[in-house]
Amino acid sequence: MGERILVTGGAGYIGSHACKALARQGHEPVTLDSLIHGHEDAVKWGPLVKADILDRDALDRCFREYRPDAVMHFAAFAYVGESVREPAKYYRNNVTGSLNLLEAMREHDCGRIIFSSTCSVYGSPNRLPLDETHYVAPINPYGASKLMIERIMSDFGAAYGLESVALRYFNAAGADPDGELGERHDPETHLIPLALGAAMDPARELTVFGTNHDTPDGTCVRDYVHVTDLAEAHALALDLLRREGGNHSLNLGCGNGYSVLEVIETAGRVAGKPVAWKAGPVREGDPSKLVADAALATRRLGWKPRYQNLELMIRHAGDWMRNHD
């Protein structure tokens, strides 16, 4: 039997894909989104509550009206560079907003949460691929804010019985293969849509942040995971809590590292046009390499990414961009 799931940030990139995955499993997603970065037309599978997680009264009204069985929490500011320049904004929204949400859950007897965390909690790793036993030492306020939320959830679990799964994403990529959803950030900072945009528009030039990293071609190496596979992992995490309860932290990635230049070359091949780029300075708070070991998610969730091919991820993203220009 389906459940009613409150999805904060459900009008955003990953949150909207999670809503689709929930609806496919017979659940009812209720989106709560401020629409600062989200898109109202991405809310297709359930009601929309226009509210901010910093507004505790709005959260209480939402819980009273919809009585959700569980929460998926995506609502957050997520620009690493901005978090270095404006840490107060990130700690206020991400940490204070999440604490508001957890307190509202406790008051309204909602005891399960799936949390959108990040590989940024690991900081600069001393070994790859990264598994969950690696130390956590974020090097930017964005990662620190996510790690603090993980800690709060763990403490709420010990004190109040909250059941939680923190899913530590690597780099979300691609778009819904059915063409219903895609990536629309403003400003856009993700490499794949920027590279495709530069290929589609000769007037655009992509900036590569750092060409002297300790990597084979000098550019950052990242692990890309398809957004539809991320969404599926959230639905499976809900099943895990239903079966076992507890508090869990799990990596989500494919285990393949691609450099910025490899992504640029692949995007050019998909678009059929070269991507113009220039070298820029290294971004603050940007590790050189991040590659996942997601074996624990495979064991605990039964999760296996279906769309592991980088070219396919970029093709899905390009199809979305061409149809929604």
Query: Which residues are known to be catalytic?
Result: 142
Position 27: which residue type? H
Q: At what angle are helices 260-271 and 191-200 packed, to 10 degrees? A: 40
User: How far is the C-alpha of 281 from the C-alpha of 207, rounded, in Å?
Assistant: 9
Burial zone of 205 (CB within 10 Å; 0-12 exposed, 13-18 middle, 19+ buried): exposed
d(CA 161, CA 298): 25
Going from the C-alpha of 215 to that of each of 195, 206, 219, 317, the distances in angstroms are 20, 20, 6, 26
| Cβ contact 70:140 at 8 Å | no
